[in-house]
Amino acid sequence: MAHTLAHGFADPVHEGQAVFRAAMDALSRPGQIRPLATTLAPPAPLIPELAALALALTDADTPVWLDAPLRAEPAVAAFLRFHTGAPLVDAPDRAAFALIADPARCPAFAAFSQGTPAYPDTSATLILAVETLSNSAGPAFAGPGIRGTAHLDAGPLPADWASRWAANHAAFPLGLDLLFVASARLAGLPRSARPVALEAMPCT
Amino acid sequence: MPSVSQTPPPHSMPDLAARQRAMARAGEATSDELRAALARTGAVTEAQDLRPTETGLVMVRGRIGGDGRAFNAGEATVTRAAVRLPGGETGFAYHLGRDRVRARLAAILDAHWQRPEARPALEAALDAIAGRRAEAVRQAARKTAATRVNFFTLARGED
Amino acid sequence: MYVAVKGGEAAIDNAHRLLAEVRRGDPAVPELTVAQIREQMRLLVDRVMTEGSLYDPDLAALALKQARGDVVEAVFLVRAYRTTLPRFGATEPLDTGGMTLARRISATFKDLPGGQVLGPTFDYTHRLVDFALEDGADPAPAAEAKPEADAAACPRVTDLLGQAGLLEPSPPDEGAPVGDLTREPVDYPADRALRLQGLARGDEGFILALGYSTQRGYGRTHPFVGEIRVGAVELEFTPEELGFPVSLGTVDLTECQMINQFHGSGAVPPQFTRGYGLVFGQGERKAMAMALVDRSLRAAELGEAVVVPAQDQEFVLAHCDSLQATGFVEHMKLPHYVDFQAELELVRRLRAEHAALAAEPVQDDPTLREAAE
């Protein structure tokens, strides 16, 4: 297994902190696209940005769920086990983080842990590797960390995405937080991001 | 902690128990003993780090009542090393304590142990190390045995 | 009025330099080494490991040296150090039945497989100060004897008694997640596993006093020492990337099995109940007190009224940690000038109102105003 093991962070502390910082910034400024540089070369279909977040955010205390394409490639599990020590779980509702390489087939949000009223922070964070990630179009969001409204176009995503997100936001303070990654960049969508209907958008 | 794994790693090597035993004995060795063991086999101590040797924690689990439900008794420092030899063999070590040099040497030894040509000499060296340890444990056991209470009952005049 | 104050920096730096010098003590006396503390102050090292909740004798010894022998300060250092380290995971649950025994006694059963083994103990010493130690003479070598055949495998006393049904069994391991109070905040009521984690790292003095209180009548549980065992236990850990357990080495532990009376109920025939204690190193007093308090905290589970402090989970668990306790008590010595100024203003106003009511002028104390400002 380890004969072909891809390398982890060359400088675990500083690279891990840099990626953590990028994820924190992405979630505190929902919808804004941020650069995410990494030199990782993980086994496909785990893209380098997905791997970088996994290495920075997960460890033995954070059960990780992999979607079907990631699960189908044993080298992905071996890479993550070695570099993070995170337990890989079959049941999505036991995961603290879900790595999703095929976002168009992302399971229903209800399949993941929503947190509890006493500890809403125990909900899952979904990290989705998307092909499209831009601010120039897409649905609009408002809420904490957003000046006015922010557009975020991420895809491909399931057809019922808008209603999923509306339900996720409505359950606040429970609900999922999302991180979208694409080539060299990422964006965050925390549960606090309120979907804004286009007709209700203020003229700017 | 969830224990369900999606894809168990391929650890079905037939000599797994022997490797575990070798790793355990290497864990009881000093750095000098590990260096000497590697030198005896002519094994190189050069290896590539798969991951920087690092010190971290494990949570030590006990059982309620000694044999019941698990609970967290407290943590322990552990140092781990993971190396790859030029030939591709990978070696690992997880040791209590903070000695990075010793853990890395043990990981190199674990990698060389997987080379069939190096194994007999390493096994002999590990046996010698285990013998030294066993002698220390035996002597402690003799001192402990001297503090065992030998009760004797006084006759109380009843038949 | 709020006045920003600066100027402590040089004083703090110099206080730390002075601390380093005072820590060293008389330079004419040889400096202590960490190895000396580890080998010759071992019970103190064990206590710092237990309450610091981190097994690392060299680190605990170093912390004691840095802390000038202050246990709580050393615990603080150890706890701070552990926060800088990643956690690789949890060990397989350790097996005290497989302990390499250094000591093993039972106050309830005289004749046990493996016997009563005293080991290195203060019990039965005369507690007379040994002035010969002043001269540092080497002790006579310990006596040796051939271990008897049954010494190799010493079953736990509770395993023997449990077979007859006289003793309640341990709560079965059904694979439930193991709560960790260093990771998630404690919710009350806390389960027994979480309580034991809290008690294990709790302050020895506090746990001892609570255990003592149960014996004196504040939550009587009629305890007997089923067994105390001290010795080395192997730890095994399964790294995610290997998928098979590896031996980490051995740790020294003390385990106490306390046996307590229980009258039974309609559903359960009368049997003895149990309390459990487990600490790092040799720490019999702590392990025994822990077992007493573990049993008394089971009051609700066993249908006993919760009326005394040692039966009150929140009272015990929220106050047993020496670091939390010292943090809150000792922070009081840090500047509270603004808080106190507010209180002072309030008291002045109340006094003025009081004086107006009594139609008697009250003299304001000008020195108090200066002190606060």
Instruction: Provide the CA A132 distance to its chain's centre, in angstroms.
Output: 14
Contact A81 C89 (CB under 8 A): no
Task: Please tell me the distance from the alpha carbon of residue C193 to that of residue C63, in angstroms, as a whole number.
Answer: 28
pLDDT in tens, C77-131: 999 999 999 999 999 999 999 999 999 999 988 888 888 999 999 999 999 999 9
Confidence of residue A204 (pLDDT cuts 50, 70, 90): very low
E strand residue ranges, A90-173 = 97-100, 125-129, 132-134, 140-142, 150-151, 153-155
Confidence of residue C4 (pLDDT cuts 50, 70, 90): low
Residue C40: burial class (beta carbons within 10 Å; 0-12, 13-18, 19+) = exposed
What pLDDT score does B15 carry?
87
Q: Is residue C15 part of a domain?
A: yes
Show the tokens assigned to A51: 């791997």
Q: Are residues C167 and C254 in the same domain?
A: yes
- Over chain A, what is the mean pLDDT? 92
Task: Please tell me the distance from the alpha carbon of residue C98 to that of residue C324, in angstroms, as a whole number.
Answer: 35
Q: CB–CB of A9/A20 below 8 Å?
A: no
Q: Are residues C205 and C256 in the same domain?
A: yes
Only one residue has tokens 């064990």, namely C46
Nearest Cβ partner of C85 from B8, B56, B148?
Answer: B56
Residues of A at the C interface, defined by Cβ within 8 angstroms: 2, 59-61, 78, 81-82, 84-87, 118-119
Overall residue count recorded for chain B in this entry = 159
What pLDDT score does C359 carry?
78
Residue C319: burial class (beta carbons within 10 Å; 0-12, 13-18, 19+) = middle
Q: Are residues C155 and C301 in the same domain?
A: yes
A79 min Cα distance to partner chain B (Å): 11
Of A9 and C253, the one with more pLDDT: C253
Hey, which residues does B63 pair with through a beta bridge? Answer: B70
Hey, which residues does C303 pair with through a beta bridge? Answer: none
pLDDT at A3 over 50: no
Q: Is residue C355 part of a domain?
A: no
Show the tokens assigned to A134: 């831009």
CATH class, domain A2-195, is: alpha beta
Pick the range with the lowest mean pLDDT from C204-213, C238-247, C314-323, C364-373: C364-373
Confidence of residue A1 (pLDDT cuts 50, 70, 90): very low
pLDDT in tens, A15-34: 999 999 999 999 999 999 99
The residue of chain A with its CA nearest to that of C89 is A60
3-class secondary-structure state, position A140: strand
Task: Please tell me the distance from the alpha carbon of residue A91 to that of residue C141, in angstroms, as a whole number.
Answer: 60
pLDDT in tens, C293-346: 999 999 999 888 999 999 999 999 999 999 999 999 999 998 888 889 999 999
Task: Please tell me the distance from the alpha carbon of residue B75 to that of residue C248, in angstroms, as a whole number.
Answer: 13
Q: C240-269: buried (b, 16+ CB within 10 Å) or exposed (e) per residue?
A: bbbbbbbbbbbbbbbbbbbbbebeeeeeee
Residue A167: burial class (beta carbons within 10 Å; 0-12, 13-18, 19+) = middle
What pLDDT score does C160 carry?
80
Q: Are residues C33 and C160 in the same domain?
A: no
Mean pLDDT of C245-254: 97
Contact A85 C184 (CB under 8 A): no
What pLDDT score does A16 carry?
93
pLDDT at C266 over 80: no
Amino acid identity of residue C84, one-letter, is: T
Contact C184 A118 (CB under 8 A): no
What pLDDT score does C268 carry?
75
Hey, which residues does A189 pair with through a beta bridge? Answer: A178
Task: Please tell me the distance from the alpha carbon of residue B108 to that of residue C255, in angstroms, as a whole number.
Answer: 36
Q: CB–CB of B24/C246 below 8 Å?
A: yes
Contact B4 A91 (CB under 8 A): yes
Q: CB–CB of B24/B96 below 8 Å?
A: no
Tell whether A198 is within 8 A of chain B (Cβ): no
Q: Is residue C368 part of a domain?
A: no
C142 min Cα distance to partner chain B (Å): 6
Q: Which residues of chain B have pLDDT under 50?
A: 1-12
Tell whether A150 is within 8 A of chain B (Cβ): no
pLDDT at C269 over 90: no
Tell whether B51 is within 8 A of chain C (Cβ): no
Q: Are residues C67 and C159 in the same domain?
A: no
What pLDDT score does C267 carry?
76
As for how many domains chain C has, the answer is 2
What pLDDT score does C164 carry?
74
Query: Which of A 21-50 lie inside 8 A of B, CB atoms?
Result: none
Range picked from A128-142, B27-41, C35-49, C153-167 for highest mean pLDDT = C35-49
In terms of phi and psi (left: phi > 0; alpha: psi -120 to 50; beta: otherwise), the region of C166 is alpha
pLDDT in tens, C15-71: 999 999 999 999 999 999 999 999 999 999 999 999 999 999 999 999 999 999 999
Residue C325: burial class (beta carbons within 10 Å; 0-12, 13-18, 19+) = middle
- A61 CB-near residues (< 8 Å, 6+ apart): A96, C87, C183
- The 8-class DSSP code of residue B137 comes to H
Only one residue has tokens 């069939």, namely B116
What pLDDT score does B2 carry?
36
Q: Are residues C103 and C44 in the same domain?
A: no
Contact C237 B78 (CB under 8 A): yes
Q: Are residues C116 and C249 in the same domain?
A: yes
Among A85, A86, A183, which residue's Cα sits nearest to residue A125? Answer: A86
Contact C247 B20 (CB under 8 A): yes
pLDDT at C198 over 90: yes
Show the tokens assigned to A63: 């059960």
Q: C101-125: buried (b, 16+ CB within 10 Å) or exposed (e) per residue?
A: bbbbbbeeeeebebbbbbbebeeee
pLDDT in tens, C122-137: 999 999 999 989 988 8
The residue of chain B with its CA nearest to that of C89 is B58
C174 min Cα distance to partner chain B (Å): 7
Instruction: Provide the CA B18 distance to its chain's centre, in angstroms.
Output: 12
Q: Are residues C200 and C76 in the same domain?
A: no
Pick the range with the lowest mean pLDDT from A176-180, C157-161, C350-354: C157-161
Task: Please tell me the distance from the alpha carbon of residue C19 to that of residue C215, in angstroms, as a whole number.
Answer: 42
**Helix axis angle, C204-215 relative to C42-52, nearest 10°?**
90
What pLDDT score does A199 carry?
54
Q: Are residues C76 and C206 in the same domain?
A: no
C-beta atoms surrounding B145 within 10 Å: 18
ipTM of this predicted structure: 0.90
| Chain B residues close to A2, C-beta within 8 Å | 50, 82, 84, 90
Q: Are residues C192 and C287 in the same domain?
A: yes
Q: Is residue C139 part of a domain?
A: no
Q: Is residue C23 part of a domain?
A: yes
Instruction: Provide the CA C289 distance to its chain's centre, in angstroms.
Output: 10
Domain that holds residue C319: 96-124+145-171+179-324
